[in-house]
Amino acid sequence: MAKPAKVLLNVPAIKADFPILQRKIRDKRLVYLDSAATSQKPRQVIDATSDFYSRYNANVHRAIYELGEEATREYEGAREKIAEFIRAKSPNEIVFTKSTTESLNIVAYGYGLKGKIQNGDEIVGTVMEHHSNHVPWHFVKDHKGAVLKYVDVDDDGILRMEQYDELLTKRTKIVTVALCSNVLGTINPVKEIAKRAHEVGAVCVVDAAQAAPHMPIDVQSLDADFLAFSGHKMLGPTGIGILYGKPEALEATEPLLGGGEMIREVHLGRASWNDVPYRFEGGTPNIAGAIGLGVAVDYLTKLGMEAIRAHEMEVTQYALDKIRRIKGVTTYGPTDVRKKAGVLAFTIENAHPHDVASILDVEGICIRSGHHCAQPLMERYDLPATARASFYVYNDLEDVDALTAGIRKVQEVFA
Amino acid sequence: MAAAYDLYQEQILDHYKHPRNKGPLPGASLHGRDSNPLCGDEVILHLKIDGSERIADVRFEGQGCAISQASASMLTTMLKGVTLPDADALDRDAIIKQLGIPLSAVRLKCALLSLHVLKLAIGKKTDNRA
């Protein structure tokens, strides 16, 4: 049985805020361990989006009437909350997008492909990136002749920092890295990487999709030029993402979407653009999504990002201790929870990860299986796929106990 | 726990743990290969055809989940001695019936990968008599 948790988060009270966690799966308690894919949503966020549609639905920035003013106020209020959440200097550094993927594509397209990158310029990534931080840079390579270089990881899933010595040159224009790996859970030393990037005159682009939900972020301390994350992984709705950019970085970026909202003046055949950040928000934005994300940020802030991180370290440590003790199970990534977020990739001898996920599903346990949109990393470790459990504010040690019991059931089936 | 594990019935696990007709097939004239990008399941099928358009021998190679690999193994047992038109006429219902397990939409893709590979093999006949 689980030992009693230290009182970092009141998990029973948190669980009670999430309607979906009251659901049974085949008469079993729902054990949701796939928050790295998407988090569940608390009642407060669900209510906020529904409240927008029920009470003050109107388009933002244009309507003169009361509803429009309310919608604009809440939408821009969410921008302010998010700026504060990541310690940005100003809400003008916060662009609403639909996802981390869109955010990274805006940078690759607007700063890279249409902007600064010339033939032979270099972009330095890492082998542990999510596909969304690989493929946009392929476009820059294909269309502008940029040279892509990658920092490797060691067998424990730690970036081989010494490789930056060789890979960074005066041709390096962009250095991009995940703050936290979605497979290994590795927390990368982004502050150091940004410093190294700046020393050669490059900008640092940070994929914070797996970090923003789980640990305090201070963009000023990190000194990142761009930083991207998604709402749906941090208790917010789907279809809303964030691109943070330093003012000078955003000014140097061309918009991806042309249309309404992003313009100052349009004439036949030419247009001038709106100011940053609105320049990047062509079309009616996801207003309900932004407002919902603002409420998610309130929820997280109330729990405290330090407390969330400490809670997840405790749950992850417990999971590592329990799961690594099972014979025939291999885990991937760092084993030191100070360097690891609540993401635990594992394989079970003689059982394919999909079969692991299917059998755990019968037990009401949701985990992810597959390549986790990180095929280059899978190739690095010569793995076709892994299972992955990931933890969040509503998970406790009992959930880990359910997982370990499930793993033993898998082993019975494939014995 | 039997009822809870409908997917992993004895015959599925048996084909997964002890695959039939697995390995390369020298002299095969028809080959198909495909993978399921979602899971990385992979099935390669080799068919040796005799003078009367009949499958004289069949082998498969691959890696992946129990459902995809058991399905491939079972498919090979259904193909020996069958004419190409009859093999081509095999449809998803025949495979699902053979597997005899309830399949969700996602796992159906695993189950039907080998059938898809069979169709590929029959569709792109290569002259490889050597």
Query: Would you say residue A156 has pLDDT above 50?
Result: yes
For range A330-338, the mean pLDDT: 97
pLDDT score for B1: 44
Domain harbouring B11, CATH code: 3.90.1010.10
Q: Which domain holds residue B37?
A: 3-121
Query: Would you say residue A23 has pLDDT above 80?
Result: yes
pLDDT score for B126: 44
pLDDT score for A308: 98
The reply to whether B126 falls in a domain is no
Kindly determine whether residue B66 and residue A362, on different chains, have CB atoms separated by under 8 Å.
no
Note the pLDDT tens digit of each residue in A226-275.
999 999 999 999 999 999 999 999 999 999 999 988 999 999 999 999 99
pLDDT score for B32: 96
Q: For every one of its 130 residues, what pLDDT tens digit does chain B have, with 9 covering 90 and above?
A: 443 467 888 899 999 999 999 999 999 999 999 998 777 789 999 999 998 999 999 999 999 999 999 999 999 999 999 999 999 999 999 999 999 888 888 889 999 999 999 999 998 544 433 3
Q: Does A370 touch chain B (CB under 8 A)?
A: yes
Tokens, residue B85: 């038109």
Closest C-alpha to A129, from A174, A182, A167, A168: A182
Name the band, by pLDDT with cuts 50, 70 and 90, for residue A7.
low
The reply to whether B87 falls in a domain is yes
In which residue are the tokens 């690891």 written? Answer: A340
Active site residue A204: no
Contact A62, A284 (CB under 8 A): no
pLDDT score for A243: 98
For residue A4, the tally of other CB atoms under 10 A from its CB is: 8
CA distance B120 to chain A (A): 23
Name the band, by pLDDT with cuts 50, 70 and 90, for residue A6.
low
pTM for the model = 0.93
Range in A140-144, A411-415, B36-40, B108-112 the model is least confident about: B36-40
Query: Would you say residue A5 has pLDDT above 80?
Result: no
In which residue are the tokens 């006949």 written? Answer: B125
Q: Side chain identity at B15, as an amino acid letter?
A: H
Q: Does A359 touch chain B (CB under 8 A)?
A: yes
CA distance A321 to chain B (A): 27
The DSSP letter of residue A188 is P
Q: Which residue of A has its CA nearest to B9?
A: A413
Higher-pLDDT residue of A62 and A172 is A172
| DSSP H/E element including A360 | helix A353-362
Cα–Cα dist A213/A235, whole Å: 8
Task: Give me the number of domains chain B comprises.
Answer: 1
Count of all residues that appear for chain A in the document = 415
3-state helix, strand, coil in chain B (%, to 5): 50, 20, 30
Note the pLDDT tens digit of each residue in A35-83.
999 999 999 999 999 999 999 999 999 889 999 999 999 999 999 999 9
The bridge status of strand A226-230 relative to strand A28-29 is unpaired
Kindly determine whether residue B110 and residue A354, on different chains, have CB atoms separated by under 8 Å.
yes
Return the exposure string of A287-325: e unless at least 16 CB atoms fall within 10 Å of the residue's CB, then b. Answer: bbbbbbbbbbbbbbeebebeebbebbbbbbbbbbebbee
The reply to whether B41 falls in a domain is yes
Q: Does A240 touch chain B (CB under 8 A)?
A: no
Query: Would you say residue A294 has pLDDT above 50?
Result: yes
Q: Which residue of B has its CA nearest to A370?
A: B39
Return the exposure string of A112-136: e unless at least 16 CB atoms fall within 10 Å of the residue's CB, then b. Answer: bbbbbbeeebbbbbbbbbbbbbbeb
Q: Does B65 touch chain A (CB under 8 A)?
A: yes
- Give A-chain residues touching B63 at CB under 8 angstroms: 384
CA torsion angle for A96, A102, A103, A109 (degrees, to 10)?
-120
The reply to whether B79 falls in a domain is yes
Strands (E), A24-83: 24-25, 28-29, 31-32
Q: Does A385 touch chain B (CB under 8 A)?
A: yes
The reply to whether B127 falls in a domain is no
Query: Would you say residue A302 has pLDDT above 50?
Result: yes
Query: Would you say residue A191 has pLDDT above 50?
Result: yes
- Give A-chain residues touching B7 at CB under 8 angstroms: 358-359
Q: Under 8 Å CB-to-CB from A40, ≥6 apart: which residues?
A: A18, A20, A21, A32, A235, A392, A394
Contact A197, A284 (CB under 8 A): no
pLDDT score for B127: 40
Contact A318, A400 (CB under 8 A): yes
| Longest alpha-carbon distance in chain A | 71
pLDDT score for A115: 84
The reply to whether B92 falls in a domain is yes
Name the band, by pLDDT with cuts 50, 70 and 90, for residue A1.
very low
A334 prior amide bond cis, ω within 30: no
Tally of CA atoms within 13 A in the half-sphere of B25 that contains its CB: 23
Tokens, residue A288: 């309900």
For residue A266, the tally of other CB atoms under 10 A from its CB is: 12
Percent of the residues in chain A that have a pLDDT greater than 70, as a whole number: 98
Kindly determine whether residue A385 and residue B8, on different chains, have CB atoms separated by under 8 Å.
no
For range A315-324, the mean pLDDT: 98
Closest C-alpha to A388, from A410, A408, A371: A371
Handedness of CA A122, A125, A130, A133 (dihedral sign): negative
Q: What is the rounded average pLDDT for all residues in chain A?
A: 96
The reply to whether B129 falls in a domain is no
Query: Would you say residue A2 has pLDDT above 90?
Result: no
The DSSP letter of residue A116 is I
